[in-house]
Structure 1
């Protein structure tokens, strides 16, 4: 599917397997873009089920996110799921929560630091949820349920990149010049980089 829409990808089309998202700045552009996409499907003898389609909407849920003209947010049903998520009592349940929350880590500043007491439990032979881990679970739930709406990048404006290197972690904050938040990211350093000085790790965070 990516090959079929190669000429349109990231210009006004996004594709995930058989999910096709068409986005446009104006209604006139959108009609034109839809025409191109539908003609391409027709030429390839591919069909879209009408009941699965949404046309001309200003807001849509896509891959666990709600996309609109104002930005990208977590889907409401995902937020409700976080609010109702019980504290994990087994490693399997903990992996499930960390997998879910990790998918939305770009919405949470300092995700790795907040989640550290929980990820540490995965390294132990026996599962025992400590007070620190319980507190981390609650903090992570609070951070997710109060997550900001991330702005859609405006490539006509300069970007602000704030980076930080601390211990074994790299952190970045990306925004447009008007401080519209685009993403939070935090990565653990490879073991070989733990021996680098702070300034070297800082430069590494800028390269990331």
Structure 2
């Protein structure tokens, strides 16, 4: 592969794909010059490796022995650790994140978040955990230099999704993802927010879902969404989202604890900012926790209001004018 040409990697990848076109995703995975051969049994693995080496030699391509690993149960590949159990984080990279020095400026924060985002699929509630850091990426935000900037806080308005695959042994989770709801999306009705979560998940995992030969199923804890695809009257926003083809099945929230933990929590409340309630009155309920608003007796509350009114001079003057 010649160096310096902008199309050299693409040309080499095309060559590799042509050489192993009938073996790709069967027992060969190839990304440029990183080729991985996987097998279920040791005997067939020897045959698979021999086939790959023979094809490389037939096309004048050679593997460097010092860079080859054979007959291993796990291997580091493209930043991940691949084994019979699936994908795992590279422990060396994970330790690097733990030892990362606290960011002291915006550029250092962007560098850390860019590195950590690569492993977000392995971190539960990732968007919730870093929400206090991403808030400092906004324009004109003041970047603090103390340790409080590293403490996590979260927004109660977030989207969460889980991609699962059903096999003979049961359901296996492939990927988790979540994100904060942007300010414009705060004004969406509850029904539209639920649909937004589905559409966002479909776009996020489009590469997986488009390759399916059979229809896939979407599970939601919002019962009215079952009839979304068959609805005759849609809003403009809902009509744009209807381009995706899927079936929706109601799944009670009490059975989806792993999904709810990605988007909500008892200790998570939306940030209180300017025009918070005026933009969406439904946000008012998020400002009060259950243990912050208690009334011992409704009659006592009425008596307190009446006493306070009689102490108001403007209220008394209005009553006097009405009595004339």
TM-score grouping bracket, smaller chain normalisation: 0.7 to 0.9
- 1:16 and 1:189 mapped to 2: Cα distance? 35
- Report Cα offsets for 1:77-134 as digits up to 9, x if no partner: 1122122112111222111211111000000122122212211211133432576631
Give 1:174's match in structure 2, choosing from 157, 163, 180: 163
2:196 corresponds to: 201
User: Greater strand share, 1 or 2?
Assistant: 1
Larger radius of gyration: 2
1:71 corresponds to: 86
| TM-score normalised by the chain length of structure 2 | 0.49
Q: How many residues align?
A: 179
- 1:3 and 1:188 mapped to 2: Cα distance? 42
**Matches of residues 1-208 of structure 1 in structure 2 within 5 Å?**
1-125=16-140, 126-129=142-145, 133-136=149-152, 167=157, 169-176=158-165, 178=170, 180-187=172-179, 195=188, 197-205=192-200, 207-208=202-203
Q: CA deviation at 1:170?
A: 3.4
* Runs of at least 5 residues in structure 1 that lack an aligned partner in the other structure: 140-165
| TM-score normalised by the chain length of structure 1 | 0.73
Distance verdict in 2 for CA 1:183–1:203, change over 3 Å: closer
Distance verdict in 2 for CA 1:173–1:132, change over 3 Å: farther
Q: Is this contact kept in 2: 1:117–1:132, CA < 8 A?
A: no
- 1:176 and 1:20 mapped to 2: Cα distance? 26
SS at match of 1:55: coil
SS at match of 2:17: coil
- Report Cα offsets for 1:38-96 as digits up to 9, x if no partner: 11111211011000000111111112221111222111211221221121112221112
2:265 corresponds to: none
Q: CA deviation at 1:22?
A: 0.9
- 2:72 and 2:112 mapped to 1: Cα distance? 32
Q: CA deviation at 1:180?
A: 4.0
- 1:202 and 1:91 mapped to 2: Cα distance? 30
Q: Is this contact kept in 2: 1:121–1:129, CA < 8 A?
A: no
* Runs of at least 5 residues in structure 2 that lack an aligned partner in the other structure: 1-15, 204-324
Q: CA deviation at 1:205?
A: 4.5
- Alpha-carbon RMSD across the aligned residues, in angstroms, is 2.7
Distance verdict in 2 for CA 1:34–1:116, change over 3 Å: same
Structure having greater relative contact order (Cα 8 Å, sep ≥ 6):
1
